[in-house]
Chain A
Amino acid sequence: MRTFRKGISLVVIAFLLFLTFACSDSGSSAKTPDTTDAAALPSSTTTATAEANRGGVLRVAFNATANCLGYPGGLATFHEYQMVEPVVESLGRYDESGALIPYLAESFETDADALTLTIHLRKDVTFHDGTACDAEAVKWNLEEFKASGRSEINAVADILVKDPLTLVLQLSKWNNSIADAVLFTAGRIVSPTYFKANGKDAAIANPVGTGPFKFVEWERDVKIVYEKFDDFRIEGQPYLDGIEVIFMPDITTIISAMRAGEIDVIGTVNGTVVSAMEVDGLAPISRPLTSGTVMFGVMPTSNDPSLPFYDLKVRQAISHAIDAKAIAEMYKSQGWAYSNQWTPPGSWSYNDETVGYPYDVQKAKKLLAEAGYPDGFSCKGYVNSGDVKLMEITQAYLAEVGIDMEIIPLESAKENEMTGINGTWDGILRWAGRGEADIAPVYARTLTDAGVRCVGGVLHPKDVKELIDAAIGAKTFEEKVKISKELSKKVIDDYCLLVPYASVSSQFYAAEKVHETHLGYYHISSWTPELAWIEK
């Protein structure tokens, strides 16, 4: 009997080992693609090929959920902006070079002397409920955006409907970023008729826009279903019959579904996805954006005299102690590009003359000693519980110079409270911010008293505020570029208000049969679903 039991045990153990090996990735012989150059450009297929492959439903899986779809003032995350793009179009989009171009609008012009932004709309554009997308509808949308409490278009004092296809936005003072704010961020246009008839909650859950796809259903935490809008204003588009946005809370499920052919696109990419897709021979679809990215780094509390970080030398010391270039390199396969300033590399506001703080442990120790901390000190490091690894790397670097950082993981609600308008933190915060070429309005959201993000734990230097105002108020692009570059340098070299690690561009994976998906390809908060098609 004892021998039999041993036999049974061996059989079961052997079976379990077999299962484990059979289900692991290590056995795959697929060639690992070379993704060292990061960008796999979208295939340059012709329209004729897309024409020949009309139809099909594109299934895009996200690890993130959406809380709002059809109320532009309530859109909060870049995923939400992407997810609603099939239905709700924006007045403007960004092109390959990062320049704002009219999209739902036909054209626009600004007048710095008259303090106006004039928007000309396209003719015969209708919402999916059959009502006209005219100047009155756009005016209502922009007013509703302001009424939601959002601050992006606060410079707009009044909106005049000049004729059914022309709006003139009167500004309270000149703001050269207003076109981006109005046409892109606030310019997602939904049907006022639907909103007025059904209310805000219904609008949030039932987006009614002018896009290439119509909203069908939103099964919360499961999927959003879109179907082709036959009367879309661009002849011949879209190519797909429909789109399904699928929510999967577990990354393993996303990988499994992709491998099993149950989904076509992975919209949320992390290290696990990258490793699995490399094994499968799939390269990420991405390119290093010069605007419309997410910036990552750490931000010490610089405005509290009771903390060591109040001393500029301590902030400079921690900057020198962390090898941000090596960290960015480590995450390169996830779309990271090293930046020594709060601006995506290659953008027009990126200042090559910014010296930054190259990795130098000896210099860091010297600065700490000069600041009165020759043996280092202890501090707290706050990070979202989903991103502890990055903080552990930071912790290891700081330990080299004697700084003992205790990592405190935070749930999103607590993190948002800490970085919100009335919050602060006492230590080093894992920081994430918008990475835009037009950086002055982004700085204004953190580095001034009127800011909304990480505003309570950082200094608001007077000369930085003056430069922000000057950059926003510049009347020529050349002047704006010059001031923005000066700003980029000052925030880092003069004040060391944050330790930037990298600019992170949008990245996704698509099955080989999927073409022109372009999820976040021109800006992290946008998508061009009308161009996507699936090879039959």
Chain B
Amino acid sequence: MAYFIAKRLMQSVVVIFIVSLFTFLLAYLMPGDPVYAMLGGDITQEQYDMAYKEMNLDKPIYLRYVNWCADLIKGDFGKSYKYRMPVIDLIKTRLPVTMYLGGLSIIISTAVGILFGILAATKRGKILDTVITFLANLGAVMPLFWLAVLGMSLFAMHLKWLPSYGFTFPTEDFVKSVRQTILPVIALSVGAIASTTRQMRSSMLEVIQQDYIRTARAKGLKESRVISKHALKNALIPIVTLTGMSFRNVVSGSASIEIIFSIAGTGQLLVTSVLSKDVATTQACILIVAIVVSIANLIVDISYGYLDPRIRIQ
């Protein structure tokens, strides 16, 4: 297992290196001069020259990449020229917000999705299966931003039950935090619940037709025990993959929700930095996504070994 983890870690390092190279090059290839992006168009030659030098644009690109990598190793992501502060400080404030919302969304969507999937599979062809499958299909096709805007319109604007915007950590103000979190988390979770439900139903249906399940039933075990003890663990493998992949969405894909609810997370930061050609911040955000996804994939691979001992032996 240690060899397996070490091997996967090495692969992750290579992936992160390649991502860093592409990110660096892409950030500079984006249309628009970074100096104008930072200062606007109404600037003198003197202002332009000062900023050009300050942003190290007078140095060759390979040298900038080498310097950037050297700084990265020291934990320095560079300085944001839009925000005029170290990028690491920006990430430190933004990443926890996104991880909190995304974490809640993953927990809720996984738990609810698994439950719905099991219910649909075990009640196949019954009314409950029909309802769950229909709702899962609906959730899967519903655009995230539309759901967010609809939720805001109904619960914030018309009913005035929940706030339209903002984010607070529960440690600062628990009630305010819960009120501000409900709409974004629901909007983030609905699609994931739908996917998990559909995947779980399909996976569970496949497992409960296996011989060992028939054997367990023949032994006279209760249906609930058959499902929880014998079927669930094997049916969970595709869900683990799905959950691992949803980490990518947590870090980068939540941008639309963060923009709609005015939440300063990494998704919003990434969009803003790309639009304003804030190269250092864009590079850092994409690199963070790569690192999080690599770690998530590693955890997924390790989980496979736990859920299916055959993978461990291989």
Chain A positions near chain B (C-beta within 8 angstroms):
1, 4-5, 8-9, 12, 19-20, 22-23, 65, 67-68, 74, 76-77, 148-151, 201, 204-205, 219-222, 246-250, 252-253, 255-257, 259-262, 411-417, 419-422, 445, 452-453
Interface pair B149/A149, CB less than 8 Å apart: no
Interface flag for B261 (CB, 8 Å): yes
Interface pair B33/A253, CB less than 8 Å apart: no
B77 CB to nearest A CB, Å: 16
Interface pair A413/B262, CB less than 8 Å apart: no
Interface pair B269/A221, CB less than 8 Å apart: yes
Q: List 10 A-B contacts (CB under 8 A).
A: A23-B150, A23-B158, A76-B42, A219-B264, A220-B83, A221-B272, A256-B165, A257-B156, A411-B31, A420-B36
Measured CB to CB, the nearest residue on chain B to A77 is: B40
List CB contacts (< 8 Å) of B6-62 with chain A.
30-34, 36-50
Interface flag for B260 (CB, 8 Å): yes
Interface pair B153/A250, CB less than 8 Å apart: no
Measured CB to CB, the nearest residue on chain A to B50 is: A149
Interface flag for B268 (CB, 8 Å): yes
Interface segment, one of B99-107, B127-135, B193-201, B232-240: B127-135
Interface pair B164/A249, CB less than 8 Å apart: no
**CB-CB under 8 A for A411 and B156, given A9-B134, A67-B84, A246-B262:** no
C-alpha gap A65/B138 in the complex (Å): 36
Give which listed residue, B31, B42, B262, contacts A248 with CB less than 8 A.
B262
Interface pair A253/B130, CB less than 8 Å apart: no
Kindly list 4 other residue pairs between chains A and B, CB separation below 8 angstroms, not including A22-B158, A420-B41, A421-B44: A150-B47, A246-B262, A252-B149, A411-B277
C-alpha gap A204/B83 in the complex (Å): 9
C-alpha gap A256/B272 in the complex (Å): 22
Measured CB to CB, the nearest residue on chain B to A76 is: B40
Which residues on the A side are within 8 Å of B32 (C-beta)? Answer: 411-417
Which residues on the B side are within 8 Å of A412 (C-beta)? Answer: 32, 37, 275-276
Interface pair B45/A4, CB less than 8 Å apart: no
Most buried by A among B163, B261, B262: B262
Interface flag for B70 (CB, 8 Å): no
Give which listed residue, A67, A201, A252, contacts B82 with CB less than 8 A.
A67
C-alpha gap A255/B34 in the complex (Å): 32
C-alpha gap A65/B153 in the complex (Å): 24
Interface pair A247/B276, CB less than 8 Å apart: no
Interface flag for B217 (CB, 8 Å): no
B187 CB to nearest A CB, Å: 13
C-alpha gap A414/B34 in the complex (Å): 9
**CB-CB under 8 A for A248 and B165, given A23-B158, A414-B31, A421-B48:** yes
**CB-CB under 8 A for A256 and B156, given A19-B150, A413-B276:** yes
Interface pair A253/B262, CB less than 8 Å apart: yes
A223 CB to nearest B CB, Å: 9
Measured CB to CB, the nearest residue on chain B to A152 is: B44
Interface pair B259/A249, CB less than 8 Å apart: yes
C-alpha gap A9/B32 in the complex (Å): 49
B243 CB to nearest A CB, Å: 27
Measured CB to CB, the nearest residue on chain A to B142 is: A16
Interface flag for B175 (CB, 8 Å): no
Interface flag for B5 (CB, 8 Å): no
Measured CB to CB, the nearest residue on chain A to B125 is: A1
Measured CB to CB, the nearest residue on chain B to A203 is: B84
Interface pair B264/A222, CB less than 8 Å apart: yes
A254 CB to nearest B CB, Å: 9
Give which listed residue, A22, A76, A249, contacts B154 with CB less than 8 A.
A22
C-alpha gap A149/B54 in the complex (Å): 14
B30 CB to nearest A CB, Å: 8
Interface pair B134/A416, CB less than 8 Å apart: no
Give which listed residue, A65, A68, A201, contacts B85 with CB less than 8 A.
A201
Interface flag for B290 (CB, 8 Å): no
C-alpha gap A65/B42 in the complex (Å): 18
Interface pair A260/B156, CB less than 8 Å apart: yes
Interface pair B164/A256, CB less than 8 Å apart: yes
Give which listed residue, B33, B138, B264, contacts A417 with CB less than 8 A.
B33
A524 CB to nearest B CB, Å: 14
Which residues on the A side are within 8 Å of B153 (C-beta)? Answer: 23, 252, 256
Interface pair A253/B261, CB less than 8 Å apart: yes
Interface pair A413/B44, CB less than 8 Å apart: no
A111 CB to nearest B CB, Å: 28
**CB-CB under 8 A for A149 and B269, given A260-B163, A416-B33:** no
Interface pair A421/B43, CB less than 8 Å apart: yes
List CB contacts (< 8 Å) of B259-296 with chain A.
259-262, 264, 268-269, 272, 275-277
Interface pair A221/B33, CB less than 8 Å apart: no
Interface flag for B157 (CB, 8 Å): yes
List CB contacts (< 8 Å) of B148-200 with chain A.
149-150, 152-154, 156-158, 160, 163-166
Interface pair B262/A149, CB less than 8 Å apart: no
Give which listed residue, A5, A74, A220, contacts B130 with CB less than 8 A.
A5
